Amino acid sequence: MSTFQIDFGNSGPKSHQGKIVGIDLGTTNSLAAVMELTGPRILSGIVPSVVSVKQDGGIVAGKEARELLITHPERSVYSVKRLMGRGREDVGEELKLFPFHLAPQSGSVLRLKLGDVVMSPPEVSAHILLKLKEDAQAALGEPVTQAVITVPAYFNDAQRQATKDAGRIAGLEVLRLVNEPTAAALAYGLDKRKEGIVAVYDLGGGTFDISILRLHEGIFEVLATNGDTHLGGDDIDHLLMTIALDEIKNEWGEEISADATAVQLLRRAVIQAKEELSFVPQSVIRLDYKGKEYARELALDVFNRVIEPIVEKTLGPCRACIQDAGVKIEEIDEVVLVGGSTRIPLVRSAVERLFRAKPHTELNPDEVVALGAAVQAGILSGDVQDQLLLDVTPLSLGIETMGGLVSKLIHRNSTIPASATEQFTTAVDGQTNVLIHVVQGERELVKDCRSLARFDLKGIPPMPAGLARIEVRFLIDANGILSVTAKDLRAGKEISRDVKPSYGLTEEQVEAMILESFQKAEEDMTERQLREARVEADAVLAAVEKARQEDAYQLLNQEERSAIDRAINELLVVYNGEDHNLIRDKIEGVDKVTQNLAEAIINSVAEKALKGTKIDA
């Protein structure tokens, strides 16, 4: 049983009226769909994920906001999904690419200044959701109050909470958050109903996700997920924008990157050319601005050479995901493409080359996630029968124990909803409170993982070290949100916390955590074994020192006392060394020479307990 680090200081949807809608809240575009008797149906057209503040102070979202982005970029926001659940220090480089700015003195929580209006990313997303809600109500002819919303598989707790907050601000009860690749599998599962293993490759505007799923008798089980939270079509746009801006500077003799209107017009031209190259062999990036014209012919082969590094960057997470899933490439039966960026021919050929199978593209890649969300909504409402969805948690969750070690309760890629319970104990005599430090990550040491929450369980009855029984329970609900409960089993004291960090992982943390865990696995395990040996040595040394204060110690002869002293000194000599096996050998040496002392103490305690007791009693 592990000891705590010493610190000295949903059951289902509610009853509802009307349809539950499925929403794909995307980085570039968003969609709403609903489940009907014949299958899922998109409710209205694509809603651009753009929000703008008009000159009269009114706030608009969608196509109208996209038009205002050209003329009033300083009062418009796009790609806000990249900022959801993240802190100021996480997005400094990204904000350089956007025309909007942070409100001054907004602390660690992001707040964006759009003209005279200040909004947080969840509030911005809420306006997009409100637009989808209004369109859905117009299409259905009835109120919409409940929704299933999709999120990238790699969204952490803070980003998922921010998404739920956005739904609540928009007046929607968010019944479930569903990973986007999983939603895609649901959409294709409607007519496939086939057993096998499926890879879902999702390259959208701002994020990339890859999931490996097993289909068996109508059950979708996510075996593994991976991806990159900062990789998508936006990166292709930024790359082409950089080339175009450099050429314009050379041709026009002026720098237009500081002119927000010019930049947004160029951005639109770049996106149009990129989209055309999915269907034709050549396109033109054309900008007419203030009497000057820029035209750059872009052939498909040149475009492919430019974007090849971005496409190749998606294949690393794919290989890692296949390995995590414990399958071989040849065992993967189907590959599903999701996200508008998968229309790019180079992307499709790269995926086909890696998986050795022609990917599925029957469904519109822009709509498939929303359709899958509608299927999940149908499952929750009871409109879809005999279908179950199992998701996984992308990173391990655990608590800190003595020596700065991580005790993992729920491991990476565990199926959710998930729960795990483990018992811990105290490390020192008379300890009346313990620190519950919740961490996330794959490394063995707390310092190498991400801290999620800290709280104290107080009021533990004082007792000798090791006698307390503290039960810690982790529960991840269907939305991937973690709740932690700590209970003193002897006294009945209990405390619970929903783990809601103030902001999400940085880009570097998200991309590096799993890779580091593999690269440093041997180093971490060696360090863990060393720390565990030292923690055990501390406990043995403390126990011997305490035993020396007992009367029974005086009953030992001089030779036995000297043997104990020598064994303790030998342990102290190797204690700060790097050989955990040597430390454990010396611990065994102490145990061996203190056996008589332990027996004497037990006899002494028993004698005191029985003193004055009659034999027949």
CATH number of the structural domain spanning residue 533: 1.20.1270.10
**Whether the Cβ atoms of residue 150 and residue 371 lie closer than 8 Å to each other:** no
| Average pLDDT over every residue of 347-367 | 92
- State yes or no: is 366 an active-site residue: no
In the structure, what pLDDT confidence band is assigned to residue 562 with cuts at 50, 70 and 90?
Answer: confident
pLDDT at 268 over 70: yes
**Whether the Cβ atoms of residue 270 and residue 283 lie closer than 8 Å to each other:** no
Quick one: 225 and 272 in the same domain? no
Quick one: 503 and 555 in the same domain? no
| Average pLDDT over every residue of 605-617 | 53
- Domain with 221, as residue range(s), is 20-231+314-392
| Average pLDDT over every residue of 394-405 | 82
The pLDDT score that the predictor gives to residue 321 is: 92
The pLDDT score that the predictor gives to residue 373 is: 93
Quick one: 248 and 226 in the same domain? no
- CATH number of the domain to which 275 belongs: 3.90.640.10
Residues contacting 427, CB < 8 A, separation 6+: 3, 4, 5, 6, 402, 465, 539
Q: Which of 258, 247, 347, 233 is nearest to 298 (CA)?
A: 247
| Average pLDDT over every residue of 243-269 | 90
Where does residue 604 rank: exposed (0-12), middle (13-18), buried (19+ CB within 10 A)?
Answer: middle
Of 264-268, 340-344, 370-374, 535-539, least confident by mean pLDDT is 535-539
The pLDDT score that the predictor gives to residue 2 is: 57
Residue that is last in its domain, among 455, 482, 508: 508
- How far apart, in whole angstroms, are the C-alpha atoms of residue 130 and residue 111? 19
The pLDDT score that the predictor gives to residue 385 is: 59
**Whether the Cβ atoms of residue 127 and residue 171 lie closer than 8 Å to each other:** no
Strands 59-61 and 50-53: antiparallel
Quick one: 105 and 177 in the same domain? yes
Q: What percentage of the chain carries pLDDT values higher than 90?
A: 30
| Average pLDDT over every residue of 43-47 | 89
**Catalytic position from the list 19, 24, 165, 448:** 24
In the structure, what pLDDT confidence band is assigned to residue 176 with cuts at 50, 70 and 90?
Answer: confident
* Segment 566-595, tens digit of pLDDT: 888 888 888 888 888 888 888 888 888 888
Helix ranges (DSSP H) in 141-232 = 157-169, 180-192
- State yes or no: is 585 an active-site residue: no
| Average pLDDT over every residue of 337-361 | 93
The pLDDT score that the predictor gives to residue 606 is: 57
Q: Is 532 helix (H, G, I), strand (E, B) or coil?
A: helix
Quick one: 336 and 419 in the same domain? no
Quick one: 560 and 482 in the same domain? no
In the structure, what pLDDT confidence band is assigned to residue 207 with cuts at 50, 70 and 90?
Answer: confident
7 lies in some domain: no
The pLDDT score that the predictor gives to residue 16 is: 45
| Average pLDDT over every residue of 374-387 | 76
Residue 407: both structure tokens together: 């005790």
What is the overall mean pLDDT for the chain?
82
| Average pLDDT over every residue of 101-109 | 68
Query: 595-610 vs 580-593: helix axis angle to the nearest 10?
Result: 50
Query: pLDDT higher for 456 or 237?
Result: 237
| Average pLDDT over every residue of 117-121 | 89
CA dist 341 to 108, 197, 299, 363, Å?
32, 23, 18, 14
pLDDT at 509 over 60: no
516 lies in some domain: no
Residue with tokens 């593999």: 518
Query: pLDDT higher for 311 or 180?
Result: 311
* Most trustworthy range by pLDDT among 129-133, 332-336, 379-383, 447-451: 129-133
52 lies in some domain: yes
CA dist 58 to 81, 135, 163, Å?
22, 18, 23
| Average pLDDT over every residue of 336-361 | 93
First to last CA, the chain: 36
> Phi and psi (nearest 5°) for 121?
-55, -40
| Average pLDDT over every residue of 511-539 | 73
The one-letter code for the residue type at 15 is S
- State yes or no: is 24 an active-site residue: yes
Quick one: 238 and 217 in the same domain? no
**Catalytic position from the list 19, 81, 131, 487:** 81
Residue that is last in its domain, among 292, 308, 324: 308
Quick one: 30 and 121 in the same domain? yes
- How far apart, in whole angstroms, are the C-alpha atoms of residue 388 and residue 25? 23
Where does residue 513 rank: exposed (0-12), middle (13-18), buried (19+ CB within 10 A)?
Answer: buried
The pLDDT score that the predictor gives to residue 439 is: 85
pLDDT at 451 over 90: no
**Whether the Cβ atoms of residue 198 and residue 392 lie closer than 8 Å to each other:** no
- How far apart, in whole angstroms, are the C-alpha atoms of residue 557 and residue 460? 39
- How far apart, in whole angstroms, are the C-alpha atoms of residue 150 and residue 372? 9
472 lies in some domain: yes
Quick one: 408 and 499 in the same domain? yes
In the structure, what pLDDT confidence band is assigned to residue 328 with cuts at 50, 70 and 90?
Answer: very high
CA dist 580 to 363, 403, 445, Å?
57, 14, 16
Residues contacting 83, CB < 8 A, separation 6+: 91, 94, 110, 112, 121
Q: Which residues pair with 203 in a beta bridge?
A: 208
**Whether the Cβ atoms of residue 182 and residue 391 lie closer than 8 Å to each other:** yes
The pLDDT score that the predictor gives to residue 194 is: 60
Quick one: 92 and 178 in the same domain? yes
The pLDDT score that the predictor gives to residue 415 is: 66
pLDDT at 478 over 80: no
Query: pLDDT higher for 505 or 364?
Result: 364
- How far apart, in whole angstroms, are the C-alpha atoms of residue 295 and residue 280? 17
Q: Which residues pair with 119 in a beta bridge?
A: 112
Q: Which of 187, 446, 198, 149 is nearest to 325 (CA)?
A: 198
- CATH number of the domain to which 480 belongs: 2.60.34.10
**Catalytic position from the list 202, 442, 444, 527:** 202
Is the Cα torsion angle 161, 164, 166, 171 positive or negative in sign? negative
pLDDT at 182 over 90: no
- CATH number of the domain to which 133 belongs: 3.30.420.40
- Domain count within the chain: 4
**Whether the Cβ atoms of residue 572 and residue 538 lie closer than 8 Å to each other:** no
In the structure, what pLDDT confidence band is assigned to residue 507 with cuts at 50, 70 and 90?
Answer: very low
* Most trustworthy range by pLDDT among 74-78, 498-502, 510-514: 74-78
The pLDDT score that the predictor gives to residue 517 is: 60
Residues contacting 52, CB < 8 A, separation 6+: 59, 60, 61, 64, 65, 68, 69, 72, 75, 76, 77, 114
The pLDDT score that the predictor gives to residue 581 is: 86
In the structure, what pLDDT confidence band is assigned to residue 391 with cuts at 50, 70 and 90?
Answer: low
The pLDDT score that the predictor gives to residue 515 is: 63
- State yes or no: is 508 an active-site residue: no
515 lies in some domain: no
Bond from prior residue into 394 cis (ω within 30 degrees of 0): no
- How far apart, in whole angstroms, are the C-alpha atoms of residue 486 and residue 446? 19
Residue that is last in its domain, among 392, 416, 435: 392
Give the DSSP letter string of 20-82. Answer: EEEEE--SSEEEEEEEETTEEEE-S--EESEEEE-TTS-EEESHHHHHHHHH-GGGEEE-GGG
Running DSSP on this structure, what letter comes out for residue 83? G
pLDDT at 20 over 80: yes
6 lies in some domain: no
Residues contacting 50, CB < 8 A, separation 6+: 61, 62, 65, 66, 69, 76, 77, 78
1 lies in some domain: no
Quick one: 320 and 334 in the same domain? yes
Residue 302: both structure tokens together: 């040149």
The pLDDT score that the predictor gives to residue 384 is: 66
Quick one: 109 and 191 in the same domain? yes
The pLDDT score that the predictor gives to residue 35 is: 92
Q: What percentage of the chain carries pLDDT values higher than 70?
A: 84
The pLDDT score that the predictor gives to residue 308 is: 95
Q: Within its chain, how far is the Cα of 159 from the centroid?
A: 8
3 lies in some domain: no
Where does residue 107 rank: exposed (0-12), middle (13-18), buried (19+ CB within 10 A)?
Answer: exposed
In 217-365, beta strands by DSSP E: 219-228, 282-289, 292-299, 334-338
pLDDT at 480 over 90: no
pLDDT at 215 over 90: no
The pLDDT score that the predictor gives to residue 104 is: 74
**Catalytic position from the list 90, 135, 157, 180:** 180
